[in-house]
């Protein structure tokens, strides 16, 4: 949906008459029933004055199409400014301009296409403007059928009209080169350069016909996108499905295709414990549904699984398939059935509210079911690890029924983690007093688990195991403060136990699980949940101990920087019993999750010696 459209002469007149911002504001209210914030109104007035300067050139046709605030279908993203027309060969061209008012920006090392600037009232990490413009163009190119059929050429760029470039310019350095090459960056004092960029693409006006084509294009994945993701899956052994993974995959595929035929809303709930292959099924479905011509998206609350699996698919290369991976808060304002199929991984981690300040929307489960004609939730209720996690089978059923969606429930049973041993998982539940099971020991269970007396021993084993295939990591409960000043410095050690010192995983990467050097850092629940390794070293802090013959948990031993128990002190004052129950579940689930990340082995150090002795006893055959 385009909020404002016209031809160049209309736009210039509106800016001269100081009415352009008011026209956009009125259109947003009429089309989207939204009021405009004052800061957004001022940003239009400011930025559009600069675009007036750029377009005030007779060589740019008066009847070129101009669009402002184009809402990309199936997303909450809006393209700031579009110019349309034909080049000298009469080929259709559209220029996408990402406008930024930033005057100061810093680079971010180690994270792809990230920069740091003051926005939203604080200094925050955001994507590089050229990446943003490129990704919007890729999204339109990949999913707009009219763009594909008419072969409309898209030319993204970024215009930072308040920012003065330095020499050499840091935003055009090697780490951003591939994005700036595809979407050039123009800054303050470069009006003439941006004009030349426009004039190369638009020599003949189109009377905004191309804008009409884009605004009315059906959403369908392009053939090139279909072929790309299909080849990524077929060439990747990591995504081969086994046993009941294939059964569940076929059932979901059939259900999704049925939705496309009868247009009935359906919700699929897939239950499965650690290592049953929930994500493998989800990624295969993402590829196949796209190949069937459906608009499918993979979503999760936690960014780590999205980042890691996108990187595993693309082989660390820039790829537009990243647009298929969305945060669970992406559907706050989505229209009903706007996406064909939404594949929600780690559904137990969903929240009620979305947004940077957790103040948007009503309930992420409701919003995902509303947005998808077919919604699929992969869930393990025993992996709820924060107070804000609201994902449960009952909650999904509730919202599906309210939206008159048919419900299908499936289960993944075969265990592929922990050497395929359901016995280890049952033993762990029994040992941690999560639930009583018949697995009181690990007799006849082929899984390498050791309780060690020194965290240095854990590190030594993990280093050795990691030499094999970069598939071993050290993980810890959140009992140590995260040193903000050293968040990107692996030599700054947050975790200190006697002579053992290590850094929490660095803040300048979202792919801790597969980064080559992250074996030198300690991962947390937020960077490892939903992912797996061959071997995991786990450090259990003082928040879980063994006292008077029982496992006890203590939320007061959690680090102040830990957000997973945010609000627990307030709850404790209001309802002590409920607070202790909630904290106990989250702390135990956290360590259960960490201790099931290793497919072949787990090596544990406990700061509480009584807990270490108890775990050693439980490892002995015949001990209950």
Same-domain status, 316 and 336: yes
Provide the 8-state DSSP code for 2: E
Same-domain status, 193 and 342: no
Q: Has residue 535 been placed in a domain?
A: yes
Angstrom distance (rounded) from CA 338 to CA 608: 52
pTM of structure: 0.89
**What mean pLDDT is reported for the chain?**
93
Last residue of a domain, one of 215, 246, 269: 215
Spatial CA neighbour of 458 closest among 500, 430, 489? 500
pLDDT at 421 over 80: no
Predicted confidence (pLDDT) per residue in 18-34, tens digit: 999 888 888 888 887 77
Same-domain status, 447 and 329: no
Same-domain status, 292 and 209: no
Residue at token pair 């030499």: 467
Residue at token pair 């072969």: 151
Same-domain status, 21 and 164: yes
Phi/psi for 623 (5° steps) reads: -100, 130
How many domains would you assign to the chain? Answer: 3
Q: Has residue 418 been placed in a domain?
A: no
Structure tokens at 234: 């077929």
The better pLDDT of the pair 360, 369 is held by 369
Q: Has residue 371 been placed in a domain?
A: yes
Least confident of 114-123, 208-217, 419-428, 450-459: 419-428
Provide the 8-state DSSP code for 152: -
Distances from the Cα of 142 to the Cαs of 149, 218, 223, 410, in angstroms? 11, 11, 8, 32
Last residue of a domain, one of 193, 215, 237: 215
Last residue of a domain, one of 367, 387, 412: 412
Distances from the Cα of 102 to the Cαs of 136, 165, 188, 305, in angstroms? 20, 12, 11, 31
**Residue 397 sits in a domain of what CATH number?**
3.40.50.300
Predicted confidence (pLDDT) per residue in 159-207, tens digit: 999 999 999 999 999 999 999 999 999 999 999 999 999 999 999 999 9
Provide the 8-state DSSP code for 144: B
Structural domain of residue 140, as residue ranges? 2-215
Q: Half-sphere exposure of residue 38, counting CA atoms within 13 Å on the CB side?
A: 0
Average pLDDT value for residue range 436-458 = 89
Spatial CA neighbour of 248 closest among 376, 398, 371? 376
Q: Has residue 419 been placed in a domain?
A: no
pLDDT at 480 over 80: yes
Cβ-based neighbour number of residue 407 at 10 Å: 13
Average pLDDT value for residue range 470-490 = 93
Spatial CA neighbour of 403 closest among 571, 241, 500, 267? 267
Q: Has residue 417 been placed in a domain?
A: no
Same-domain status, 167 and 41: yes
Predicted confidence (pLDDT) per residue in 312-357, tens digit: 888 767 788 988 999 999 999 888 999 999 999 999 999 999 987 7
Same-domain status, 580 and 455: yes
Same-domain status, 205 and 238: no
Same-domain status, 381 and 444: no
pLDDT of residue 106: 95
Same-domain status, 489 and 395: no
Same-domain status, 353 and 433: no
Cis peptide before 239 (omega within 30 of 0): no
């Amino acid at each position: 949906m385009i909020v404002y459209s016209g031809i160049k002469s209309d736009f210039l007149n509106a800016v001269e008459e100081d009415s352009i911002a008011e026209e956009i504001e009125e259109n947003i209210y009429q089309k989207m029933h939204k009021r405009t914030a004052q800061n957004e109104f001022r940003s239009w007035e400011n930025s559009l004055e600069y675009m007036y300067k750029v377009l005030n050139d007779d060589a740019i046709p008066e009847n070129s199409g101009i669009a402002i605030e184009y809402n990309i279908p199936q997303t909450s993203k809006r393209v700031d400014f579009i110019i349309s027309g034909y080049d000298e060969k009469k080929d259709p061209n559209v220029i996408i301009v990402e406008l930024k008012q930033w005057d100061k920006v810093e680079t971010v090392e180690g994270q792809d296409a990230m920069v740091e600037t003051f926005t939203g009232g604080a200094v925050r990490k955001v994507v590089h403007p050229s990446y943003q413009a490129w990704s919007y163009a890729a999204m339109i190119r990949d999913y707009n059928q009219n763009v594909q059929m008419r072969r409309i050429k898209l030319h993204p760029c970024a215009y930072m009209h308040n920012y003065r470039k330095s020499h050499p310019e840091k935003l055009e350095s090697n780490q951003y080169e591939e994005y700036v090459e595809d979407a050039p960056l123009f800054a303050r004092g470069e009006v003439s350069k941006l004009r030349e960029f426009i004039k190369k693409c638009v020599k003949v006006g189109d009377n905004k016909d191309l804008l009409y084509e884009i605004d009315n294009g059906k959403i369908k994945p392009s053939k090139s996108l279909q072929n790309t993701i299909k080849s990524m899956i077929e060439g990747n052994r990591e995504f081969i499905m086994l046993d009941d993974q294939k059964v569940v995959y076929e059932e979901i595929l059939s259900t999704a295709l049925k939705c496309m035929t009868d247009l009935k809303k359906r919700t699929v709930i897939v239950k499965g414990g650690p290592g049953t292959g929930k994500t493998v099924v989800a990624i295969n479905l993402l590829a196949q549904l796209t190949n069937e011509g459906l608009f499918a998206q993979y979503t999760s609350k936690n960014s780590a699984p999205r980042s890691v699996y996108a990187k595993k698919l693309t082989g660390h290369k820039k790829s537009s398939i990243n647009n298929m991976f969305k945060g669970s808060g992406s559907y706050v304002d989505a229209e009903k059935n706007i996406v064909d199929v939404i594949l929600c991984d780690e559904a137990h981690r969903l929240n009620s509210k979305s947004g940077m300040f957790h103040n948007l929307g009503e309930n992420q489960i409701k919003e995902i079911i509303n947005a998808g004609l077919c919604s699929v939730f992969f869930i393990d209720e025993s992996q709820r690890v924060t107070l804000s996690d609201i994902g449960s089978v009952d909650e999904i059923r509730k919202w599906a029924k309210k939206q008159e969606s048919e419900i299908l429930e499936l289960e993944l049973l075969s265990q592929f983690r922990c050497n395929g041993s359901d016995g280890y998982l049952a033993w762990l539940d029994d040992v941690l007093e999560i639930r009583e099971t018949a697995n009181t020991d690990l007799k006849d269970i082929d899984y390498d688990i050791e309780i060690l007396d020194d965290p240095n021993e854990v590190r030594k084993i993990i280093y050795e195991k990691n030499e094999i295939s970069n598939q071993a990591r050290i993980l810890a409960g959140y009992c140590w403060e995260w040193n903000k000043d050293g968040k990107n410095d692996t030599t700054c050690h947050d975790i200190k136990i006697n002579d053992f010192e290590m850094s929490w995983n660095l803040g300048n990467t979202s792919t801790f699980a597969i980064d080559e050097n992250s074996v030198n850092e300690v991962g947390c629940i937020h960077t490892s949940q939903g992912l797996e390794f061959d071997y995991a070293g786990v450090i259990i802090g003082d928040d879980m101990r063994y006292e008077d013959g029982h496992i006890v948990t203590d939320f007061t031993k959690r680090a102040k920087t830990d957000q997973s128990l945010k609000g627990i002190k307030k709850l404790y004052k209001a309802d002590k019993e409920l607070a202790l129950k909630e904290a106990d579940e989250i702390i135990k689930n956290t360590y259960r999750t960490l201790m099931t990340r290793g497919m072949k082995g787990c090596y544990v150090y406990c700061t509480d010696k009584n807990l270490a002795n108890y775990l050693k006893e439980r490892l002995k055959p015949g001990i209950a």
